[in-house]
Amino acid sequence: MMFQVGGALPTSTWELVTTSSAATKAVLIVLAVFSLVSWFIIVLKLMQFRRLRRLADRFFDALERTSRLEDAYHTVMKLPPSPFGRLLREGVNFFSELRPGALKEEKGTEGTALSPTQLEVLKMMLAKEVGAERDLVSRFITWLATIGSVSPLLGLLGTVLGVMDAFIGIAAGGSGNIAAVAPGVAEALVTTVMGLAVAIPAIIAYNLFVNRLGVFTGELEGFAQEIVGTMAREGRI
């Protein structure tokens, strides 16, 4: 291990990094990669959730201007693709397969109602679509939890390796004064600091996105129930 730069003790964190051992540098490189991946995912998911919120607001604004399921279907299909639009499309298309031409019937018109089994299948299909949309939105979020959990451990590993290297150097040099010990310990702690710096934003972002994902899933489930309720109110099931 090198404790000196040009014959002087390291006076900054950067000097500690540049004069650190190969093992410490390897840990720092891995943590730097984790940090880049973490921040890429954070920015990506922030943009995704903002876009989903805009699409949802536009979708429900258009939905409020319709009074019948058929009108709602044709109106929202003209909007940009969104999870809510796909859910409505799949629900209506599946219902149309069960009762061909039912959407064109006037409200209150007598027709063949869905059997209890068909109604349960319709609900199961909507639940499956909700799960598919949730899984699509939740992509990469678990990586934040992994990075947040592993980074401090990698930092601790670098610290242990650095302390071991420092003590080996002290034993080889035969000096135990503070000037000989301090640089080695300081170098070892750099990886701990880096590990925490990577983990903290990753864990915060993970909790934030899990909360937003829960809200998004709840809205989808509520809308799926609203689709079934609208069909029942219009006498279609």
What's the rounded Cα separation, in Å, for the pair 15 and 209?
37
Tell whether 81 is covered by a domain: yes
Tell whether 22 is covered by a domain: yes
What's the rounded Cα separation, in Å, for the pair 165 and 23?
9
Tell whether 7 is covered by a domain: no
β-bridge partners, 5: 8
Tell whether 228 is covered by a domain: yes
What is the full per-residue pLDDT of the chain (237 aa) written as tens digits? 444 434 455 566 666 667 677 888 888 899 999 999 999 999 999 999 999 999 999 999 988 888 788 888 888 888 899 999 999 999 888 888 877 766 555 554 445 567 788 888 889 999 999 999 999 999 999 999 999 999 999 999 888 887 777 777 667 666 555 655 666 677 778 889 999 999 999 999 999 999 999 999 999 999 999 988 888 887 777
Range of the domain at 181: 13-233
Tell whether 149 is covered by a domain: yes
Greatest pairwise CA separation for the chain in angstroms: 97
Q: Report the pLDDT value the prediction gives residue 45, as an integer from 0 to 100.
A: 97
What's the rounded Cα separation, in Å, for the pair 103 and 95?
9
Asked if residues 194 and 153 have their Cβ atoms less than 8 Å apart, the reply is: no
Tell whether 55 is covered by a domain: yes
Asked if residues 31 and 151 have their Cβ atoms less than 8 Å apart, the reply is: yes
Query: What is the count of structural domains for the chain?
Result: 1
Specify the amino acid at residue 84: F
What's the rounded Cα separation, in Å, for the pair 201 and 35?
9
Q: Distance between alpha carbon 96 and the CA centroid of its chain, in Å?
A: 35
Tell whether 5 is covered by a domain: no
Q: Report the pLDDT value the prediction gives residue 1, as an integer from 0 to 100.
A: 46
Tell whether 197 is covered by a domain: yes
Q: Report the pLDDT value the prediction gives residue 67, as an integer from 0 to 100.
A: 78
Q: Report the pLDDT value the prediction gives residue 214, as an integer from 0 to 100.
A: 95
